[in-house]
Structure formats: C-alpha cells, structure tokens
Amino acid sequence: MPGNQRRGSAGSTGPGGPQNRDRQGQGQGQGQGRDRQQRRPRDRDDERDQLDERVVHVARTSKVLKGGRRFAFRAVVVVGDNHGQVGFGVGKAREVPEAVRKASERARGSMRRVPTAGTTIPHIVTGDFSAARVLLRPASPGTGVIAGGGVRAVLEAAGIRDILTKSQGSANMLNVVAATFKALGELKDPEEEAKRRNRPVEALTPYWLRGGKDGEQ
C-alpha cells in the first residue's frame, strides 16, 4: 500500500500531472504560433484582393539573336485602390501569366497619390510620353469618365468618376497609359497651390464645387 501511495504521489508524470500539463501548454502555444503564421499570408492576400487590378494590354514581342528570334510577351497592368492611389507596370516573360504577374508587382510598387476634387480632378492638365499626348479636363458630377482604352482604366482605378479626356498622337497602349500618368503627375493639390499663389482655395477649384464640398451652390 505504501508503494501504491508513492506511485500516486509521483503521478506528476501521469495524464494530469504538472509535467504533462506543461507539455500541453507548450504544444498549444506552438500551435497558436503556427496559426498566426498561417494567417499572415492570407491577410496580405486579402489586402492585394482589395486593389482594382486591370490588364490593359498584352502584346507579343520578338528579339533577334544569333540563334534566331526569341519570342516573349509584354503585359501592361494598372492597379488602383479606387480612392486616389494608382500605379502601372510593364512585365515581360515567355508566358503570359508570368508577364502579367511581373507587371502587377511593378504596378503595386509604383502606386502614388493623385490629387482630386470631389469626383473629378482640380484643374486641366496635359501629359506627353513619346508620341502620345493626353488631355484631362475636370467635369461636373454625373458626367462620367469620357475616355477610352488605357486612359479609362487608369482614371477608374484611381477613383475618378467624372472627367473629360482627349488622346492625340500615338495609339500605342503603353504610350497612352504612360502619358496619362504623366498628366496625373502634373496635378496640384488645391490647398497647397492656393498657398503658393497666395489666393483663396475657391479660386482654384471647379466652379460647381465652390459653393460647398458636395457641389451645392
């Protein structure tokens, strides 16, 4: 009987003993750590899914080498959050999915803030790239995005809902998209520009926005 009591007191190694409880606690802690590690990539994927990604153009290219021609694909991708941030990228690869992936990564890395005035832009701007020229003009609410092709993709991804545009010169999609970004890069924040010119903000905003933030007269 005394021997049995000693074995019972040594029950710390049994299922309910302290040592076993410590091991279970460590196992649970490690399991929770693994769960957190597994959640992080999913969280990053959710953030990526929230962006508006558009494949604007895919073209087949060729390069002449000593052994002959080498063919590849070039993709142009526009990425935006629909709230004033937008970027674009170009990717090249032998397969279309890989070219799109590269372009998407570069577009996400080049995202920048675009000054806006309500649902449009603060003022008229023009952007030139190679032989392409793009004109952007503010428009009143309800006008919509009057643009086509790559220009529309860039503006909608940036969250601009009312604007008038005009594209001249080259119809090359890459040049048109780049010219649109050049134009957006020329936009000035109304408040900062008003301070620089020492003028009231209302004098630098579209007339339909001067009566209030919502365009009320």
Residue 59 within any structural domain of the chain = yes
Domain end (from 109, 125, 154):
109
pLDDT value of position 46: 52
Q: What is the mean predicted confidence (pLDDT) over 93-116?
A: 94
Q: Do 159 and 176 fall into the same domain?
A: yes
pLDDT value of position 67: 77
Give the list of residues 6+ apart from residue 35 with CB closer than 8 angstroms, or none: none
Cα separation, 162 vs 144, in Å, equals 4
Range of the domain at 154: 114-209
- Find, among 166, 92, 180, the residue nearest to 130 by Cα: 180
Scan for tokens 């190679």, then name that residue.
130
Q: pLDDT tens digits, residue range 5-56?
A: 444 444 455 555 555 555 555 555 555 544 444 444 445 455 556 899 999 9
Side-chain-facing half-sphere of 98: CA atoms under 13 Å: 6
Q: Is 80 within 8 Å of 158 (Cβ atoms)?
A: yes
Residue 169 within any structural domain of the chain = yes
Crossing angle of helices 149-158/173-185, nearest 10°? 40
Would you say residue 116 has pLDDT above 70? yes
Cα separation, 178 vs 88, in Å, equals 8
Q: Do 64 and 150 fall into the same domain?
A: no
Cα separation, 79 vs 122, in Å, equals 22
CATH number of the CATH domain containing 93: 3.30.160.20
Cα separation, 125 vs 90, in Å, equals 24
Q: Do 87 and 120 fall into the same domain?
A: no
If one counts the domains in the chain, the total is 2
pLDDT value of position 47: 53
What is the chain's mean pLDDT, rounded?
80
pLDDT value of position 49: 61
Q: Do 73 and 153 fall into the same domain?
A: no
Residue 45 within any structural domain of the chain = no
CATH number of the CATH domain containing 170: 3.30.230.10
Q: Do 122 and 60 fall into the same domain?
A: no
pLDDT value of position 192: 78
Instruction: Kindly write down the DSSP assignment for every residue of 157-196, as one continuous string.
Output: HHT--SEEEEEEE---HHHHHHHHHHHHHT---HHHHHHH
pLDDT value of position 16: 55
CA dihedral 185, 187, 191, 195 (to 10 degrees): 90
Would you say residue 215 has pLDDT above 50? no
pLDDT value of position 205: 74
pLDDT value of position 10: 46
Q: Do 69 and 118 fall into the same domain?
A: no
